[in-house]
Amino acid sequence: MDWQKYSFVVRSKNRKLVILSLDRPKNPTQISEELSLSLPHVSRALKELEEMELVKCLTPNEKLGRIYARTEMGGEIADLLKNLSDSNCNSR
């Protein structure tokens, strides 16, 4: 686990929500609608996550409707976030 990248994700509510929403490949509009976040917020979070190599664009040559997916490291971070969230819910 790259703890610096994990810390980068959890410091932003939007980055955390976006990486968790990528349970399957999606485009920014799908993520925006699913999370009820504005498209610019989703696009910014995707750009930041892509720069940290936590998500990748599967259709980089497209101008509209690019499809994004988690990288292996992004998946590890999402799994850890889910597990921590589940254990917090179970401890109440």
- Whether the Cβ atoms of residue 74 and residue 55 lie closer than 8 Å to each other: yes
Residues 12-38: b if buried by 16+ CB within 10 A, e if exposed: bebbbbbbbbbeeebbbebbbeebebe
Using CA atoms, how far apart are residues 75 and 92, in angstroms rounded to an integer?
Answer: 26
Q: Which CATH class is domain 3-81?
A: mainly alpha
pLDDT tens-digit profile, the chain (92 residues): 899 999 999 999 999 999 999 999 999 999 999 999 999 999 999 999 999 999 999 999 998 889 999 999 999 999 999 887 665 655 54
- Whether the Cβ atoms of residue 16 and residue 45 lie closer than 8 Å to each other: no
pLDDT for position 61: 93
- Whether the Cβ atoms of residue 58 and residue 68 lie closer than 8 Å to each other: yes
Domain boundaries along the sequence of the chain:
3-81
Segment holding 8, helix H or strand E: helix 3-10
Tokens of 81: 């976030």
